[in-house]
């Protein structure tokens, strides 16, 4: 999910790494508490009421609990300072965490699908569930939707794609609880097969989201560029810097939720090396202040104005005519 362009808001300042870490930990610990309660309640009630769909939803909540600890671990390591082995820092721990989250969801979803298929092969063995399962599913739906809204608000405020992924994981839980509730209602209405069908749908939803998260994180780890809108915003900031006459070969790659940029900047060919360097430094600082860029490497190119008559430089002394 791309973030909004920040360069047009002069009052906006990027949140410090410490603030992002603290906000991420708070929201994740809230998720831990909610998922501990839901996992215990859903699995225990699901077993007692003989609802496979509710048990599947409880396993989904358990996967959330595991993913929360993955996020906490990645959030801690991603804030480490740059060192000799990681000169750009450790922000890609977040990309790796998103990849782990995706793999976890894919595995959990696959297990749910397999379990549901086994039940569907023998529909006569599907029991009628107790009405208590419906109330638990409804409570889980409300809790997960509220958790999603809270976590997404925090993720957008601190602009963390890892936290966005974890928030949408909570939304997938809310959707799965809705499907589970409908399956239980169908089971109570005299259609027992709807309970394992609900479990099958939940498994598919979990596996699909795991694939999307994992595939997206894999591309980020392979130095995928940021979206065109953000590239153009960075280009505009550079082009609007004093002394910059042209911008070309602008390349970006993601480093966690931050960006690494390489660019060629054109300055007046008549300037001294020191003056051209100072212009490039000023342009770099503007980008670092206005965008989520962790580092910007510049190459200064000479630009000859077409409206100037550049004299041909004299040959070195002693050179033959």
Q: Which of the two residues, 312 and 50, has the higher pLDDT score?
A: 50
Q: Checking DSSP bridges between strand 246-255 and strand 258-268, what pairing results, if any?
A: antiparallel
Q: For the domain bounded by 228-303, which CATH number is listed?
A: 3.30.70.1350
pLDDT at 300 over 90: yes
CA atoms 88, 23, 26, 57: torsion sign: negative
pLDDT, one tens digit per residue, over 211-245 is 887 888 888 888 788 888 999 999 999 999 999 99
For residues 294 and 257, the answer to whether their CB atoms sit within 8 Å is: no
pLDDT at 181 over 80: yes
Domain ranges of the chain: 17-221, 228-303
Name the residue with tokens 């630009």: 303
pLDDT band at 3 (very low <50, low <70, confident <90, very high): very low
- Distance, in Å, from the CA atom of 69 to the CA atom of 292, rounded to the nearest integer, reads 26
Which contacts qualify for 260-264: CB closer than 8 Å, 24 or more apart?
A: 260/88, 260/293, 260/294, 260/295, 260/296, 260/297, 261/234, 261/287, 261/293, 261/295, 261/296, 261/297, 262/296, 262/297, 262/299, 263/238, 263/296, 263/297, 263/298, 263/299, 264/298, 264/299, 264/300, 264/301
pLDDT at 278 over 90: yes
Output the CA–CA distances (angstroms, integers) from residue 138 to 69, 70, 96, 248, 289, in the order listed: 26, 28, 34, 55, 46
pLDDT band at 79 (very low <50, low <70, confident <90, very high): low
> Could you tell me how many residues make up the chain?
321
Q: What is the pLDDT of residue 26?
A: 82
pLDDT band at 10 (very low <50, low <70, confident <90, very high): very low
Q: Are 17-221 and 228-303 the same fold in CATH?
A: no
The share of the chain scoring above pLDDT 90, in percent, equals 22
pLDDT, one tens digit per residue, over 11-46 is 343 445 566 667 777 877 888 888 889 889 999 998
- Distance, in Å, from the CA atom of 321 to the CA atom of 316, rounded to the nearest integer, reads 10
Which is the CATH superfamily of the domain at 17-221?
Answer: Cation efflux protein transmembrane domain (1.20.1510.10)
pLDDT at 314 over 50: no
3-state secondary structure of 122: coil
pLDDT at 319 over 60: no
Q: Rounded mean pLDDT of the chain? A: 79
pLDDT, one tens digit per residue, over 146-175 is 988 888 888 877 777 667 776 777 777 787
273: CB partners within 8 A, 6+ apart: none
């Amino acid at each position: 999910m791309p973030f909004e362009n920040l360069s047009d808001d002069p009052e906006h300042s990027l949140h410090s790494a410490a603030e992002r870490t603290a906000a991420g930990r708070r929201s994740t610990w809230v998720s831990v508490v909610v998922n501990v309660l839901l996992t215990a309640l859903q699995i225990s009630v699901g077993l007692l009421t003989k609802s496979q769909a509710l048990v599947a939803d409880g396993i989904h909540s358990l996967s959330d609990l595991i993913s929360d600890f993955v996020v906490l671990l990645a959030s801690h390591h991603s804030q480490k300072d740059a060192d000799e082995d990681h000169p750009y820092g450790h922000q890609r721990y977040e990309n790796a965490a998103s990849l782990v989250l995706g793999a976890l969801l894919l595995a959990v979803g696959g297990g749910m699908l397999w379990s549901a298929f086994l039940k569907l092969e023998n529909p006569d063995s599907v029991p009628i569930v107790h009405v208590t399962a419906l109330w638990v599913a409804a409570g889980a739906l409300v809790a997960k939707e509220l958790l999603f809204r809270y976590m997404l608000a925090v993720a957008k405020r601190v602009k963390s794609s890892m936290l966005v992924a974890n928030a949408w994981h909570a939304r997938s839980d809310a959707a799965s609880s809705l499907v589970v509730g409908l399956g239980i209602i169908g089971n109570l209405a005299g259609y027992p097969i709807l309970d394992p069908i609900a479990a099958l749908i939940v498994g598919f939803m979990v596996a699909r989201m795991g694939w999307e998260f994992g595939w997206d994180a894999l591309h980020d780890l392979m130095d995928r560029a940021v979206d065109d809108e953000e590239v153009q915003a960075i280009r505009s900031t550079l082009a609007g810097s004093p002394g910059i006459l042209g911008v070309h070969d602008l390349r970006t790659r993601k480093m966690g939720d931050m960006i690494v940029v390489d660019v060629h900047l054109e300055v007046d060919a008549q300037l001294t090396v020191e003056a051209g360097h100072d212009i490039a430094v000023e342009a770099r600082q503007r980008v670092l202040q206005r965008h989520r860029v962790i580092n910007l490497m510049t190459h200064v190119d000479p630009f000859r104005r077409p409206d100037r008559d550049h004299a041909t430089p004299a040959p070195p002394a002693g050179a033959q005519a």
